[in-house]
Structure 1
Amino acid sequence: MPLYWRIFLLNGVVLLAATALLLGPVTVSTPVLLTEAAVLTGGLAAMLVANALLLRVGLAPLERLTRAMTTTDLLRPGRRPAVSGHAEIAELITAFHTMLDRLEEERATSSARALSAQEAERHRISQELHDEVGQTLTAVLLELKRVAGDAPPAVREELGQVQETTRGSLEEIRRIARRLRPGVLAELGLTAALKSLTTEFTHPGLSVRHHLDPDLPPLGRDTELVLYRVAQEGLTNTARHARARHAELTLRHTASGVELRVHDDGGGIGAAPEGAGIRGMRERALLIGARLSLEPCPGGGTDVRLTVPDRNS
């Protein structure tokens, strides 16, 4: 039973016992006059109502703290309960805020380490795919070309098909390596990397357009990487799950900072739980103090927004 009702019922029992005594052996008149009974009953009702209101006001901060404890998500920082109430309750809410600060700081530190290790591992795998697997497939292509030159016409045709399959596998390996390590981001900058990303995801079933603001403020290396990864994950979800025909990637400079938006006309997010990709986007957003929102669009589709606040504002 909640604390409010336990205290209220306990007080009610005491008041009922006092009233019963007044109406029984301890009374003003014997027998009890109707007016006296009415006065005592009205007084009891007034005391119960006053007691309920006082308890409700006194325990309201605890109820707000309970709701905050049950709904707090470290990946979605929101409003915290205000420090109010008497000394013990105010101290409890303050301790809860201190605990949240510590948990958010520890999670940000651990997430930064994990994402840094993830980027390093992506770089290593990309390098191995490019240097080892890519070179091996290139050597296989050259050998197939040499063998096909000396083979009979019937075998030459079959070798040509094997060459095309190998060439397709080599292109796929290079595409995966580019996704794991966006070299264009480090070499040509964020705008060029996002343009390349939209081109990569455009295919006969999906058209991806971009609107990139040329007047962007200076962004740090970590911020550019987060913007790129969020755009990459948003377009990946669109291509794999949304069943969309059109998508737009927008990067613009607003009064509050830099806003990245990925919008599609697919089936929307629905009631499906968030997967590892979306939670990864939220963790990356927290690393740079950005705000991430995923919302369904009124006309269908999903709208992903990442807002990076302007450090100078």
Structure 2
Amino acid sequence: MPLFWRIFLLNAVVLTIAAVLLLLGPVTVSTPVLLTEAAILTAGLAAMLVANGVLLRITLAPLQRLTRAMTTTDLLRPGNRAAAGGRGEIAELITTFNTMLDRLEAERTASAAAALSAQEAERHRIAQELHDEIGQTLTAALLELKRVSGHAPPAVREELRQIQETTRTSLDEIRRIARRLRPGVLEELGLAKALKALASEFTSPLAAVRARINADLPVLSHDAELVVYRVAQESLTNAARHSGARRVDLTLGHTPAGVELRVRDDGCGIDGAAEGTGIQGMRERALLVGARLSLGPGPAGGTEMRLTVPVPTSHRSD
């Protein structure tokens, strides 16, 4: 039955009952109205309003649940659905809304996958150009400086040595940037050693990164390993840039839900700050492999990031 007719019939039933009680009951209305008659009519009106309100509340309750679902829906946190309660048009509306969310989440995942794939390809190209073009140019410049300094006067030789050190530092920085853009160690040595190398790279006098990698991890797909690596990289970058942390713990282990990456620091915490593009990118990457990402305060302060990557049953260790 359409919503209009259900509400109309509810009101009609309440008014009909009130009219029957007024016609068949001993209540009469005098002129002028007596206080007892006014009290009885007021009580009857109040009873009708309460009954009508209760019936409408029950009828429209599914719409309130749908409104809450619409308010809290976030495509980066999928799975939030309104319960398909009610009947007729209300149930059809809730079902249509849930179907729309399914389609939007699928389209968001597909578009994010295409964008991140293009991003990885562009990173690979830039890293290759940095290594092949700029890296080789600086290497040639270092060799030329070394050759020239061997024939230069002592006064000029010291200046050339300083230029060599500056050039060598620039070359090391370019190689470091190229490694971050294209994690070759991930393809060559695997996820565990890649994360240990990443932790060593981020360790500095201001932030000591301690990595603990379980040895009995199940096999992950290449896409899942890349997601874990990139999320760890972004988490360590945020800890180094924004948290002011002096210690960061990176843990990769096996849980009943799958493989879990945890990055915890002792910094200033997030304090309810809005999520930036880096965290949103982490959530988009997690969606690509069906992973669950949570971000919040750590048990002893600071910030804790958890990424849980599901593992097929056939790949889980006993």
Q: Same fold (TM over 0.5)?
A: yes
- In 1, the alpha carbon distance for the partners of 2:299 and 2:291 equals 25
Q: Are 1:289 and 2:290 counterparts? A: yes
Which residue in 2 is equivalent to 1:127?
128
Measured against aligned partners, the alpha-carbon deviations of 1:159-210 in whole angstroms (never above 9, x if no partner) come to: 0000000000000000000000000100110001001000100111110001
Aligned residue identity for 1:106: E
Match of 1:253 in 2: 254
Give the structure-1-normalised TM-score: 0.90
* Alpha-carbon separation, structure 1, partners of 2:184 and 2:249: 23
1:3 corresponds in structure 2 to none
Aligned equivalent of 1:304: 305
Q: Take 2:274 and 2:66, find their aligned partners in 1: how far apart are those partners?
A: 26
Amino acid at match of 1:219: L
Give 1:307 deviation, angstroms.
Answer: 0.5
Matches within 5 A, 1:1-313: 28-31=28-31, 32-312=33-313
Aligned pair count reads: 296
Deviation, 1:269, is: 1.1
The change in CA–CA distance for 1:128 and 1:51 in structure 2 (over 3 A counts) is same
Question: What displacement does 1:38 show?
Answer: 2.3
How many angstroms apart in 2 are the aligned matches of 1:142 and 1:117?
A: 36
Return the alpha-carbon distance in structure 2 between the equivalents of residues 248 and 255 of structure 1: 21
Q: For residues 73-98 of structure 1, what are the alpha-carbon distances to aligned partners after superposition, in whole Å with 9 as ceiling and x for unaligned?
A: 10012431100112100000000000
| Amino acid corresponding to residue 145 of structure 1 in structure 2 | K
User: Hey, what's the Cα distance between the residues in 1 that align with 2:131 and 2:311?
Assistant: 37
Question: Matches of 1:55 and 1:199 in 2, distance apart?
Answer: 63
The offset of 1:43, in angstroms, is: 1.0
Find the aligned partners of 1:195 and 1:91 in 2 and give their Cα distance: 52
CA distance in 1, matches of 2:51, 2:81: 29
Q: Is the 8 A contact 2:291 2:307 kept in 1?
A: yes
SS of corresponding position for 2:209: strand
Give the distance between the partners of 2:195 and 2:255, measured in 1 at CA: 18
Structure-2-length-normalised TM-score = 0.89
In 1, the alpha carbon distance for the partners of 2:211 and 2:146 equals 40
The one-letter code of the counterpart of 1:148 is S
Q: Spell out, residue by residue over 1:89-138, the C-alpha distance to the aligned partner (whole angstroms, 9 max, x if none).
A: 00000000000000000011000000000000000000000000000000
Q: Give 1:102's aligned amino acid.
A: R
Q: Deviations over 1:242-279 (max 9, x none)?
A: 10000011000011111000000001112321111100
Aligned counterparts of 2:40 and 2:89: Cα–Cα separation in 1: 37
Q: Distance in 2 between matches of 1:29 and 1:170?
A: 100
Compute the displacement of 1:60 (Å).
Answer: 1.4
Q: Which runs of 5+ in 1 are unaligned?
A: 1-6
Give, in whole Å, the separation in 2 of the partners of 1:304 and 1:148. Answer: 51
CA distance in 1, matches of 2:30, 2:112: 77
> 2: distance between equivalents of 1:263 and 1:37?
70
Contact 2:73/2:80 (8 A) holds in 1: no
- Stretch moving more, 80-89 or 96-105: 80-89
Unaligned runs of 5+ in 2: 1-6
The residue type paired with residue 151 of structure 1 is A
How far off its partner does 1:299 sit?
2.6
The Cα of 1:298 is off from its aligned counterpart by: 4.0
SS of the aligned residue for 1:273 comes to: coil
| SS in structure 2 of the partner of residue 150 of structure 1 | coil
Alpha carbons 2:220, 2:311 under 8 Å: kept = no
